[in-house]
Amino acid sequence: MRKGIRRLLPPGLLVAVAVVALLAGPALAQGRDAAVFFLQSRDVSQAAQAGDTFTVDVMAAGVNADVSGVDFQVTYDPAVLELQPVDGQMVQLNSDFLAGADFAITQSGPGTVRIASPTPGGGGGETPHVWIGAGPVQLAALTFKVLQTDQVSLGLNVFGFLDTSLRSIPAVAYGLDLALPAPQPGALRRLLLAGPAPLELAAGETYDLSTLTLIALDQNGQTYDLAGLAVTWNSSEPGVAAVSGSTLRGVVGGFTQVTAGGRGITSNPVTFAVIQAPVITLDQSDTTVTEPQFVVSGRVSKIATVTVNGTEVAVGEDLTFMATLTLAEGANEIVVQAVDAAGNEAAPVRITVTYAPPQTGSVAGNVTLRGRTDHSGVAISLDGEPDFVPVVSGADGSFRLEDLTPGPHTLRFYHQGYLISKASIEITAGATVTAPAVTLRAGDVNDDNVVNLQDLTLLASAYRSQEGDPATGQRYNPAADLNADGQVNLQDLTLLATNYRQVGD
């Protein structure tokens, strides 16, 4: 829970802690710009003569941190100004950010007022802290009476500014120079620039500079109306990040300082880091597959740690990577991420792979033609399913039927000169079943699915004929050449006799 800063320690101890924190933890200052402290007058234009009063606010911008301790001092010329109490308080603290009851407000001498918050110490429990963001916030207000009209400078020093780990938050402070009575109207005197920390963008990305906090003060220390100010932006390293109008575009990895300007006034710089993050290229895109195993592969543009759906995968010397995933049925989002050794993260690459298991099955098996060594040419079809296009066996007798509806089927095996055979199978969706081994019986010369006298007569009429022979070729009948050796002889007769009077399925 965030709350006001409490538990008072002496201001000197806060400074000592801040110095130790700066020495022990300088890393905090790296990668972020200093918070901006400045003085801003509220009603100095009304202080036209001696005896008039006006208010000065202590402001902070660009903090972006949980603050647990702050110690600052305002100085002024006591011959020109006199600090006035308001409701019995020499300094009015903003209770939204500072817990006034626990602050030490001291005047170590004429023209000096110091406001020191506590730092956490002892007591255990949560470290007291308060969040201060990027935008300008008022921390305290001081009211002054004009003793004489003259030039006067108000100084602001920040001695300690700590986060909840007692590490120093870098800060820069700007005082205020006034002429009393104040000229009317006040001309632009100062531009203060602050932004969220860290300020960074990737190469190729853009940043809208108009979203930064730009504070304009006139020569009276009062807020200057930016509506009539044409702000120009500048990048110290255009080769790292280039400015066009109010848009900053990252070019290559590095750092650049950005300033805002107008009417001859240039703001304090803020630092932008341009990140050269890895770039992921995938070989795959959105797709639908019928197998549960899916291979993701691709390449990164530089050495980096790559994860696929949160699991680290190996990256080769050629910067390629590959991972095999097991998909769930339906849509599967695959996210590939990469980060280099400096912590620069690539833009994640996402694809959706839909696993749709097949709603059909398949069957594979082997068929043998008795009496032959070449078992090709057997037509395998589904019995009773005339729309099914038969497949043909290979030389080794192998066959495969795809896209079969789940359930029982009957395979039908046919080849000229052989009796028809059938085999029952049960198809399962997404699976390949193995058909029973089938051997076709030879001898059906007339193709009526019976081996009988008619087949014997046809074979006898072609007996001792040879394909292409001038003397016997006219009698050659390929249907009677049961073993397909180019001649009708005793071997064919033996095959027929073996199956004589048999009937096919």
φ, ψ for residue 460 (rounded to 5)? -65, -35
Question: Is the pLDDT assigned to residue 285 strictly greater than 90?
Answer: yes
155: left (phi over 0), alpha (psi -120 to 50) or beta: beta
> Same domain for 406 and 491?
no
> Same domain for 351 and 369?
no
> Same domain for 480 and 409?
no
Q: Which residues lie closer than 8 Å to 490 by C-beta, 6 or more apart?
A: none
Q: CA 414 to CA 422: how far, in whole Å?
A: 9
Structural domain ending residue among the three candidates 338, 355, 372: 355
How do strand 171-174 and strand 35-41 relate by DSSP bridges?
parallel
CB 94 within 8 A of CB 58: no
Q: Which of 360, 361, 363, 372 is nearest to 437 (CA)?
A: 363
Q: Which of 103, 98, 140 is nearest to 118 (CA)?
A: 103
Q: CA 82 to CA 154: how far, in whole Å?
A: 12
Q: Which of 178, 162, 3 is nearest to 76 (CA)?
A: 178
Q: Which of 354, 404, 349, 352 is nearest to 380 (CA)?
A: 404
The CATH number of the domain holding residue 78 is 2.60.40.680
CB 445 within 8 A of CB 417: yes
- The rounded mean pLDDT for the chain is 86
Query: Beta partners for 171?
Result: 35
User: Across residues 131-155, what is the average pLDDT?
Assistant: 90
Confidence of residue 21 (pLDDT cuts 50, 70, 90): very low
> Same domain for 96 and 31?
yes
How do strand 293-300 and strand 320-326 relate by DSSP bridges?
antiparallel
The pTM score is 0.53
> Same domain for 75 and 107?
yes
Identify the sign of the CA torsion 164, 166, 172, 176: positive
Structural domain ending residue among the three candidates 222, 243, 276: 276
Q: Is residue 351 part of a domain?
A: yes
What's the structural domain count of the chain?
5
Structural domain ending residue among the three candidates 182, 214, 246: 182
Instruction: Look up residue 112 and give its two tokens.
Output: 């000096």
Q: Is residue 58 part of a domain?
A: yes
- State the Cα angle at 373 between 372 and 378, rounded to 5°: 70
Instruction: Look up residue 105 and give its two tokens.
Output: 């407000």
**AA identity, residue 288:** T
Q: Which residues lie closer than 8 Å to 27 by C-beta, 6 or more apart?
A: none
The CATH number of the domain holding residue 331 is 2.60.40.10
% of residues, the chain, pLDDT over 70: 90
> Same domain for 337 and 462?
no
Q: Is residue 503 part of a domain?
A: no
CB 323 within 8 A of CB 295: yes
Q: Which of 324, 202, 193 is nearest to 265 (CA)?
A: 193
**Least confident residue range of 3-12, 174-183, 208-217:** 3-12
pLDDT in tens, 77-118: 999 999 999 988 899 988 887 754 467 888 888 999 998 876
Question: Is the pLDDT assigned to residue 2 strictly greater than 70?
Answer: no
> Same domain for 329 and 200?
no
First to last CA, the chain: 86
Q: Is residue 505 part of a domain?
A: no
What is the per-residue burial (b if ≥16 Cβ within 10 Å, else e) of 86-121?
A: eeeeebbbbeebbbbebbeeeeeeebbbbbbbbbbe
Question: Is the pLDDT assigned to residue 327 strictly greater than 90?
Answer: yes
> Same domain for 241 and 381?
no
pLDDT in tens, 194-220: 988 678 888 888 999 999 999 999 888
- Residue span of the structural domain in which 456 resides: 444-498
% of residues, the chain, pLDDT over 90: 59
Q: What secondary structure does DSSP assign to 265-317, as a single string?
A: EEPPPEEEEEE----EEES--SEEESSSEEEEEEEESSS-EEEETTEEE-B-T
**AA identity, residue 308:** V
> Same domain for 195 and 331?
no
- Report the pLDDT value the prediction gives residue 182, as an integer from 0 to 100: 78
pLDDT in tens, 42-61: 888 777 788 999 999 999 99
The CATH number of the domain holding residue 448 is 1.10.1330.10
Confidence of residue 27 (pLDDT cuts 50, 70, 90): very low
